């Protein structure tokens, strides 16, 4: 049974110079960073708020950030609020360690899912060992997107420069095997068929481009037999004006033959040359 989704988590951080601290000092917000993620389990907002209250104050946040020679930080507040299917987490502190916001959000999500409580978070905070790295597959916080702007919306996030990172889906590339190729035989009647249009369709079948398993690095085409090649149709005056030319490489070795003359002499050669011109020129091109 599919679980009801919460929708999205939006986390916002504020630095000391841009917030109003409990003592009343501070300035208008000029910088913030936000990231978002999607979760499917229903969250216990009350449990998340209780865990957030444990983190408020001046602590050694070595367990919630990357290694730093001065890991002591002061967190002024951790606020969690729900707005329909959106849950917003707002964290304010005098400064942040790298990855600190991500790990705080991961701890709150663990509490929201009932997998941790205030005592476990307090113990992790006191131990100083890295915890709550937020890397669970499909649910960990996304990398933070840093931005700045003088204007903020009601939720403390700049509404003119909002940017939310989203996960990208990955898919495996399938490569056909020689044993999976099924080759068929086709018989084509060339009577009153236009030469160029017929040649392009035959080339497509010879190269295997009519199959969903087509691969440009493998010969996956079918076999084609053409009958009544001498009854092929050509437009305009191409029988007299279209010339097939070749050169022997010696002086005066140029030889030319009209389309009409070649149709009378070897009609199958006209089809072969037209199809060859429509095919690839790689090693996997259909043999002539």
- The stretch 118-139 carries a mean pLDDT of 73
- Between 142 and 257, residue with greater pLDDT: 257
Q: Band of the pLDDT at 286, cuts 50, 70, 90?
A: low
pTM score above 0.85: no
Whether the predicted pLDDT of 285 surpasses 70: no
User: What's the token pair of residue 184?
Assistant: 């068929």
Least confident interval from 52-61, 93-102, 125-134, 262-271: 125-134
Instruction: Enumerate domains of the chain plus CATH numbers.
Output: 8-148 (3.30.70.660), 178-278 (3.90.1180.10)
C-alpha–C-alpha distance, residues 156 and 13, integer Å? 9
Q: pLDDT for 80-119, tens place per residue?
A: 888 877 888 888 888 888 888 888 888 888 888 888 888 8
Q: pLDDT for 31-45, tens place per residue?
A: 344 566 677 667 888
- Between 89 and 274, residue with greater pLDDT: 274
Q: Band of the pLDDT at 149, cuts 50, 70, 90?
A: very low
Q: List own/partner pairs for 130-135 with CB under 8 A and 24 or more apart.
A: 130/62, 130/63, 131/63, 131/64, 131/103, 131/107, 132/63, 132/64, 132/103, 132/104, 132/106, 132/107, 133/99, 133/102, 133/103, 133/106, 134/102, 134/103, 134/105, 134/106, 134/109
What is residue 35's predicted lDDT score, i.e. its pLDDT?
60
Q: Band of the pLDDT at 214, cuts 50, 70, 90?
A: confident
């Amino acid at each position: 049974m599919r679980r009801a989704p919460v929708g999205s988590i939006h986390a916002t951080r504020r630095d000391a110079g841009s917030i109003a601290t409990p003592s009343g000092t501070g300035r208008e917000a000029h910088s913030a960073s936000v990231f978002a993620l999607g979760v499917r389990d229903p969250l216990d907002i009350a449990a998340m708020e209780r865990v957030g209250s444990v983190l408020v104050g001046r602590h050694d946040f070595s367990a919630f950030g990357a290694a730093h020679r001065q890991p002591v930080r002061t967190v002024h507040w951790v606020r969690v609020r729900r707005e329909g299917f959106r849950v917003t987490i707002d964290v304010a502190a005098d400064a942040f360690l790298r990855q600190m916001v991500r790990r705080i959000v991961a701890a709150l999500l663990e509490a929201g899912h009932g997998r941790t409580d205030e005592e476990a978070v307090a113990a992790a905070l006191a131990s100083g060992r890295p915890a709550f790295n937020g890397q669970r597959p499909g649910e960990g916080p996304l990398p933070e997107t840093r931005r700045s702007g003088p204007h903020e919306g009601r939720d403390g996030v700049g509404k003119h420069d909002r940017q939310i990172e989203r996960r990208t889906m990955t898919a495996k590339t399938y490569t056909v095997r020689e044993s999976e190729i099924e080759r068929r035989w086709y018989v084509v009647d060339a009577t009153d068929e236009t030469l160029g249009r017929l040649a392009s369709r035959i080339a497509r079948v010879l190269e295997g481009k009519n199959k969903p398993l087509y691969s440009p690095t493998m010969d996956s085409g079918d076999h084609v037999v053409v009958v009544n090649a001498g009854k092929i149709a050509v437009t305009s005056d191409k029988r007299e004006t279209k010339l097939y030319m070749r050169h022997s490489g010696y002086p005066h070795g140029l030889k030319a033959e009209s389309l009409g003359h070649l149709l009378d002499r070897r009609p199958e050669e006209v089809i072969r040359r037209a199809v060859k011109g429509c095919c690839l020129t790689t090693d996997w091109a259909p043999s002539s």
